[in-house]
Amino acid sequence: MLLGFSFLHSQEMPDDFLKPDFHKSRRDLVREKMPANSVAAFFASPIRNRSNDVDFVFHQDPDLYYLTGYREPHAVLLLFKENQKDADGNDYNEIFFVQPRNFGAEMWTGRRLGHKGVQEKLEILNTFNNSLFKDYDLDFSKFDKVLFYDFKNDVRDNPRDEGDLFSLISQFKQKVGYQSNSGELTTEQPRNNIDLRTLHNIMGSLREIKTPEEIDLLRKAVFISTVGQVEVMKAMKPGLSEREIQGIHEFVFKKYQSEYEGYPSIVGAGHNGCILHYIENYKPKIESDEMMLMDLGAEYHGYTADITRTIPVDGEFSEEEKAIYNIVYNAQQTAMEMTKPGVTFAELTKVARDIVNQGLADLGIIPNKDARHLYFPHGLSHHIGLDVHDKNVRSPLAENMVFTIEPGIYIPENSDCDEKWWGIAVRIEDDILVTKDGYELLSGFAPRTVEEIEAMMKKKSPLDAFTLPKLKGGK
């Protein structure tokens, strides 16, 4: 009976999460990079309220997750450069305060590890209940540097809980003598050992280079997202809604055990594609003469893909759509082929922008290639990882970075060009791994060229046969 129970229990979680030794290696690296005689503090993300008594799904702070694997709120981690001694004379170089087990609360909001669970499952031995932080005896004034990120002052207080995030932050501020918040009047000058900058550099320099374990999870997130694009290419037809197309992608993500989307899914037909972060996805019937821009990324065990495909709703690119699409494609392909260690984002961007500008000039959409315009209003690239726009320190490309290349051309209605271009919006976004001497396209499973897309869209979809009862009621 007992055996059966523990077997069941072990099946309740996927088994390909990052392992405790990954997180430990990251904590060791942070310590290595910390300045002499310093302590660093990392806090859990706040719980965000959606409305009344409903909260948004909790999403852990990526730095804290990277360093611990902990996926619960109300926690603070302290890392020390040098070993400290506890009251019994034992050495320690880290201490973690986490939310306690609570039978009643766990019935409502889910299982908690508690400090013992963290010790056993995450293998962070020096872990305590968060309510013990308040009286934890540590003289922060003895450190040359106290490293943390400035607070945003946007955390709700639970007055009945001395260990909630609000309390942990107030207690921490008290302990380190920090009254200030950006934009807030200070009542006391911060102690001069407070350092709000160094942690950005330390965490950015670590997180911008992915380990093999992280690359494995990113490959999965990216593959899952490309399967979503492929299934939608097969299912696409006039009359579908933006929302149901979003649903097909996200269903595929879930089928592969993705927890979330890495960012709100962007599914915009025609003119809606010109709105860069269009997340309403409200259009009830997409039309045969429109293009569909779909920017979606599965988040798999914390790591997110970021992939965009733009396809013709009726399965065939018009001449104008093809002309714009191929400019964007050439810009992307050329930048991709330049990818190797040592190249900078600025260099890739220049090459891609030059191709877009020349292409727009050749089509007469702008008067000449040097004319200023807003048809490509966003950046070309960013790192991906635990955040869709992942932490980094703007280094040149290096082996094991993973980043996007995502040129686009967006021609809103009433633009200063021939009307035949209005409403065309194209972005092609792929995820690239930098290798020792070049790159690997991680998102190649989703067709990218005009010909590949048109061929894929001719294939049958199992969803062609999926019909549901009509929605009854007033208009």
Query: Could you give the CA distance from residue 25 to residue 441 in angstroms, rounded to a whole number?
Result: 28
Query: Could you give the CA distance from residue 222 to residue 19 in angstroms, rounded to a whole number?
Result: 21
Residues belonging to the chain: 475
Q: How far is the CB of 390 from ligand GLY (least distance, A)?
A: 11
- Nearer of residues 114 and 268 to Mn ion, judged by Cβ: 268
Site string for Mn ion, 420-459 (x = CB under 5 A): ---------x------------------------------
- Nearer of residues 100 and 385 to ligand GLY, judged by Cβ: 385
Q: How far is the CB of 352 from ligand GLY (least distance, A)?
A: 14
Site string for Mn ion, 296-315 (x = CB under 5 A): ----------x---------
- Nearer of residues 63 and 295 to ligand GLY, judged by Cβ: 295
CB 80 within 8 A of CB 31: yes
Which member of 63, 164, 295, 387 binds Mn ion (CB under 5 A)? 295
Query: Could you give the CA distance from residue 270 to residue 274 in angstroms, rounded to a whole number?
Result: 8
CB 240 within 8 A of CB 286: yes
Which member of 61, 242, 390, 406 binds ligand GLY (CB under 6 A)? 406
Query: Could you give the CA distance from residue 300 to residue 303 in angstroms, rounded to a whole number?
Result: 5
CA distances from 33 to 29, 130, 313 (A): 6, 27, 51
Query: Could you give the CA distance from residue 206 to residue 190 in angstroms, rounded to a whole number?
Result: 28
Q: Does 431 bind ligand GLY (CB under 6 A)?
A: no
Q: Does 387 bind ligand GLY (CB under 6 A)?
A: no
Residue nearest to ligand GLY (CB): 295
Q: How far is the CB of 234 from Mn ion (least distance, A)?
A: 22
Query: Could you give the CA distance from residue 462 to residue 123 in angstroms, rounded to a whole number?
Result: 45
Site for ligand GLY in 283-342 (CB under 6 A): 295, 306
- The residues, any chain, with a CB within 8 Å of residue 177's CB and separated by 6 or more, are 140, 141, 188, 190, 191, 194
Determine whether 265 is exposed, middle or buried from the number of CB atoms within 10 Å of its CB (0-12, 13-18, 19+).
buried
Site string for Mn ion, 237-276 (x = CB under 5 A): ----------------------------------------
Q: Which residues are catalytic?
A: 53, 277, 295, 306, 378, 382, 389, 406, 410, 427, 429
Residues that bind Mn ion (CB under 5 A): 295, 306, 404, 406, 429
Binding site for ligand GLY (CB under 6 A): 263, 295, 306, 388, 406, 429
